[in-house]
Amino acid sequence: MPKRLVEVALPLPVQSAFTYRVPEAETLPERGARVVVPFGSRRVVGIVVGPASAAPGAALKDVSEVLDESPLVTPPLLDLAAWVSDYYLAPPGECYRLVLPPAGIRASRAVARLGDGAAAALGLADDPIVAALREGPLRVSTLAHRLGKDPTSRLQRLRASRAVVVEQDLQAPGFRQVRLAVLVDTAASARGPAQAEVLERLRQADGRQRVPDLLRDRPALRGALDRLVALGTVRLEEERSVRTPGVPAGATPPPPDPTEDQGRVLAPVLAAVARGQFATFLLHGITGSGKTEVYFRAAEAALDRGRGALILVPEIALTRFLVRAAVARFGDTVALVHSELSAGERHDQWWRIREGDSRIVVGARSAVFAPVADLGLVVVDEEHESSYKQDESPRYHGRDVAVMRAKLEGAVAVLGSATPSVESYANAIGGKYAHLRMPSRIGASGLPRVQVVDRREALKAGSDPILTPPLREALGLRLERREQTLLLLNRRGYATSLLCRECGDTASCPNCSVALTLHAGGRTALCHYCGHQAPAPRGCGVCQGEYLRLTGYGTEKVVEAVRAALPRARVERLDRDLASRRGAVEGVLAAFEAGETDILVGTQMIAKGHDFPRVTLVGVIDADVGLGFPDFRAAERTFQLLTQVAGRAGRSDLPGEVILQSHLPDHYALRLACQQDYEAFFEREMEFRRTMGYPPVTSLLNLVLRSRDPREGAAAAEALGRRLRDAAPGRFRVLGPARAPLARLRQEHRFQILLKGRRSAMRAAVRQALRDRYGEVRWPGVSVDVDPVSVM
Ligand code: ADP
Ligand code: ZN
């Protein structure tokens, strides 16, 4: 008798999958199908990761329900999920979830039904899909199952001819519907001004309007609408609709002819796309060299061959230029996937992509898992950005996952940056990636002039610590000329700490071992790590002293200083404080782009891929901010940030100027950023990495154990450290355990063990240790970070 056993990954933070039996009455689910299984006293939805070979000793439980006859996504995506779980030592349940539809695990299903008479009229009666649908509508997954093979492309053709209609199954739970308000009684009279306004709005919309649109700018009308519904004057209907999230409008310029540089780098990329085989390119093009156009031409080539394309960006809101250009160029076939989408929008986008309505996906990190069928190209723009690394489990790196996905799909990966990560550059030099360069800027202005102001000298001469005289003067000049300025300070808030003048204590977070930052002009105290927020303390928590002093400064204070120095200037701020309000980032960027702002002050958020033609000055208030961090990537990050922000100046025909204020003007990261000399920086940085044994010379694996009880945490860390040392000889080094640099976070004590050496050996040892986790030692929470981007 055939064994009907399957391995099922459950949404639990455990390393292994569980074995279940499939009852005879159910079809044997394939890998990637969702099943409902009993777990303890609960029923949970899991994902079949494969057949189970042998039954473990204990009595097996039955699968309660098979939700999908066949998997919702293609084998390469399932392989990708399995790879992420294996490589990053992450729970399989969490990894499979990345590739499945987002809005609840039991989201809607795509259902196909016959179009109205079209099939017969078109002479398609013999088509197997049409034949299968004669009996009635079927789920697309069922069709795939019955016909033995994924019928997606055939289905697409039938849809194009309108022979088959595919729609979402509204019965399926998790599908958010849009409500439509319909005016029933056109002659009805209103009671009160609010009802009158609702009726007036509906009349203007010809008696029908979606409720969200009706109430968009006037949420207070909700009550009046409800009363009109109760009175029977207005009826609510369900309208099924796919929400296409706000795509920024803009004119559609014809695509430019490639420049010489673009033509040269495109030749091998287009050839690779045409071959349809895996290849990885590092596109190293300075800021303003025209990388976007290279991405787009490569994407067109993929589309021409009937394949899809994925363009990853660090953050959609900060990539307006690219996003807008993509929509202008490719129209409806672009799907935007990012964190500001509502659950419903996310869900719709997933299905649009899955059903082949979107062939090009532009999105942030998690879009690397978008269900684009037959992927031909993956682009990772600004590949050096650390935001590609997810900082919670599964701790994957979007860029590395993108390369792996390209490999599994037989696609071409293009990693683009003006300041490649040291890892990628080493891969390019080593021949693992093909190396493409675009060394010159488009347009006449060339690279901006860079001036370094030594703040030590300036302070001695009695200068304002925020705006030194050269920067102040340059700002004034821009105002006169009606040109714009970006001012970078990579530290948000008003003051960096609150110090007691009597005992010297610094106000710190009750949950974390970090100083509280002051915001809102010094009135609010905020922890940047756990989000704890409270009114700024009036007295010292230690000695009750009344005299507290604000020290250090952040972006808020810079805005204040600029307003004081240049009262006529229109100044705005862009940082994470703003990002919590939906649409606020876009608002500030749009105002700056429209010329309604003269000076934009911000954190690294202003340094990204913006293209503002009227910016001729970039000022860096304190270029040393990142250098003080005890992290092996401090110099790399600083070099990248300064080079990127400098690249924002003088992007049109107006020449650009950059002023860096620094205490450490001789530091190589600064000096070489000023000279925009990437190669020299890389050589210098590699020397440091070789000496210290840091990536890419060696691999890292970081373990952080967390516990509310410091003794329990320390003991567990010791035990884990010993176990790993026993497994280590000659293959990797075990550093620690030690208190993590961030010793306490969200009320948990943190202990760190850093492994350095051969990645495969480290992963094997940690995997084994985690398997034994429920053995003799009871371990508290442990987070595993393979290839950490930072060890702070
Ligand atoms: P990067 O991403 O490399 O910093 P962009 O892609 O933003 O550079 O391009 C810089 C500017 O050059 C943009 O304004 C873009 O519209 C323009 N540009 C790009 N390619 C061409 C071209 N072939 N001809 C004319 N202008 C171009
Ligand atoms: Zn905190």
Ligand minimally distant from the alpha carbon of residue 528? 2
| Model confidence at 778: pLDDT above 60 | no
- Region 660-682: mean pLDDT is 93
| Model confidence at 776: pLDDT above 70 | no
Ligand 1 in reach of 650 Cβ (< 6 A): no
As a whole-number percent, the residues of the chain with pLDDT over 90 amount to 47
Asked whether the bond before 470 is cis by omega within 30 degrees of 0, the reply is: no
pLDDT value, residue 313? 95
Lowest mean pLDDT among 46-50, 253-257, 331-335, 622-626: 253-257
pLDDT value, residue 171? 41
pLDDT value, residue 410? 96
Q: Please give the Cα distance from 86 to 402 (Å, whole number).
A: 16
443 Cα to the center of ligand 1, angstroms: 9
- Region 761-769: mean pLDDT is 92
The tokens describing 253, both together, are 């310029």
Q: Which atom of ligand 1 is nearest to the CA of 321?
A: 7
Mutate to test the pocket of ligand 1, among 284, 292, 319, 610 (most ligand atoms within 8 A of CB): 292
709 Cα to the center of ligand 2, angstroms: 17
- Bigger pLDDT: 789 or 244? 789
pLDDT value, residue 681? 97
Ligand minimally distant from the alpha carbon of residue 294? 1
- Which span out of 294-298, 547-551, 767-771 was modeled with the highest average pLDDT? 294-298
Ligand 1 in reach of 604 Cβ (< 6 A): no
Ligand 1 in reach of 259 Cβ (< 6 A): yes
Rounded CA Rg of the chain: 29
| Model confidence at 275: pLDDT above 90 | yes
Ligand 1 in reach of 115 Cβ (< 6 A): no
- Confidence tier at 109 by pLDDT (50, 70, 90): low
pLDDT tens-digit readout, 391-403: 988 999 999 999 9
- The protein residue with its alpha carbon nearest to ligand 1, atom 2, reads 291
The helix/strand/coil state of 629 is coil
Q: Please give the Cα distance from 670 to 640 (Å, whole number).
A: 10
Ligand 1 in reach of 643 Cβ (< 6 A): no
- The protein residue with its alpha carbon nearest to ligand 1, atom 18, reads 290
pLDDT value, residue 117? 60
341 contacts 245 by C-beta, under 8 angstroms: yes
pLDDT value, residue 581? 74
259 Cα to the center of ligand 1, angstroms: 9
| Model confidence at 709: pLDDT above 80 | yes
- The protein residue with its alpha carbon nearest to ligand 1, atom 5, reads 290
pLDDT value, residue 55? 64
62 Cα to the center of ligand 1, angstroms: 58
pLDDT tens-digit readout, 338-393: 877 777 778 888 888 988 889 999 999 999 999 998 999 999 999 999 999 999 88
Q: Which atom of ligand 1 is nearest to the CA of 611?
A: 7
pLDDT value, residue 493? 92
Ligand 1 in reach of 440 Cβ (< 6 A): no
438 Cα to the center of ligand 1, angstroms: 12
Ligand 1 in reach of 292 Cβ (< 6 A): yes
pLDDT value, residue 316? 82
Ligand 1 in reach of 36 Cβ (< 6 A): no
- Region 620-628: mean pLDDT is 90
750 Cα to the center of ligand 2, angstroms: 13
Ligand 1 in reach of 288 Cβ (< 6 A): yes
Lowest mean pLDDT among 205-209, 274-278, 429-433: 205-209
- Region 566-585: mean pLDDT is 87
- Rounded mean pLDDT of the chain? 86
pLDDT tens-digit readout, 154-165: 777 777 777 777
Q: Which atom of ligand 1 is nearest to the CA of 259?
A: 23
pLDDT value, residue 30? 87
pLDDT value, residue 422? 97
Ligand minimally distant from the alpha carbon of residue 438? 1
- The protein residue with its alpha carbon nearest to ligand 1, atom 14, reads 611
Q: Please give the Cα distance from 45 to 59 (Å, whole number).
A: 20
- Confidence tier at 679 by pLDDT (50, 70, 90): very high
Give, as one character, the DSSP assignment of residue 685: H
Q: Annotate 531-589 with DSSP letters as a single string.
A: --EEEPPSS-TTT--S-EEEES--HHHHHHHHHHH-TT--EEEESHHHHTSTTHHHHHH
| Model confidence at 86: pLDDT above 80 | yes
pLDDT value, residue 148? 62
The helix/strand/coil state of 537 is coil
- The protein residue with its alpha carbon nearest to ligand 1, atom 10, reads 288
- The protein residue with its alpha carbon nearest to ligand 1, atom 15, reads 290
- Confidence tier at 110 by pLDDT (50, 70, 90): low
pLDDT value, residue 780? 57
- Region 738-753: mean pLDDT is 92
Ligand 1 in reach of 293 Cβ (< 6 A): yes
- Which span out of 49-53, 185-189, 324-328, 620-624 was modeled with the highest average pLDDT? 620-624
pLDDT tens-digit readout, 495-538: 988 999 888 888 999 898 888 999 988 899 999 888 899 999 88
CA torsion angle 82 86 90 96 (round to 10): 0
Ligand 1 in reach of 611 Cβ (< 6 A): yes
HEC per residue, 170-236: CCCCCCCCEEEEEECCCCCCCCCHHHHHHHHHHHHCCCEEEHHHHHCCCHHHHHHHHHHHHCCCEEE
Give, as one character, the DSSP assignment of residue 583: T
- Bigger pLDDT: 306 or 72? 306
Lowest mean pLDDT among 133-137, 279-283, 460-464, 471-475: 133-137
- The protein residue with its alpha carbon nearest to ligand 1, atom 23, reads 258
The tokens describing 553, both together, are 């400064």
Give, as one character, the DSSP assignment of residue 439: -
pLDDT value, residue 208? 85
- Confidence tier at 45 by pLDDT (50, 70, 90): confident
- Region 270-298: mean pLDDT is 95
- The protein residue with its alpha carbon nearest to ligand 1, atom 20, reads 290
Ligand 1 in reach of 291 Cβ (< 6 A): yes
Ligand minimally distant from the alpha carbon of residue 441? 1
pLDDT value, residue 178? 57
Ligand minimally distant from the alpha carbon of residue 509? 2
| Model confidence at 539: pLDDT above 90 | no
317 Cα to the center of ligand 1, angstroms: 19
- Bigger pLDDT: 156 or 223? 223
Give, as one character, the DSSP assignment of residue 389: B
Q: Which atom of ligand 1 is nearest to the CA of 292?
A: 6
| Model confidence at 456: pLDDT above 50 | yes
| Model confidence at 120: pLDDT above 90 | no
Ligand 1 in reach of 258 Cβ (< 6 A): yes
Lowest mean pLDDT among 232-241, 539-548, 752-761: 232-241
Q: Please give the Cα distance from 452 to 546 (Å, whole number).
A: 40
Q: Please give the Cα distance from 394 to 87 (Å, whole number).
A: 10
451 Cα to the center of ligand 1, angstroms: 26
239 contacts 349 by C-beta, under 8 angstroms: no
pLDDT value, residue 750? 94
Mutate to test the pocket of ligand 1, among 266, 610, 611 (most ligand atoms within 8 A of CB): 611
Ligand 1 in reach of 328 Cβ (< 6 A): no
| Model confidence at 68: pLDDT above 90 | no
The tokens describing 227, both together, are 């009363």
Q: Which helix (H) or strand (E) holds 375?
A: strand 375-381
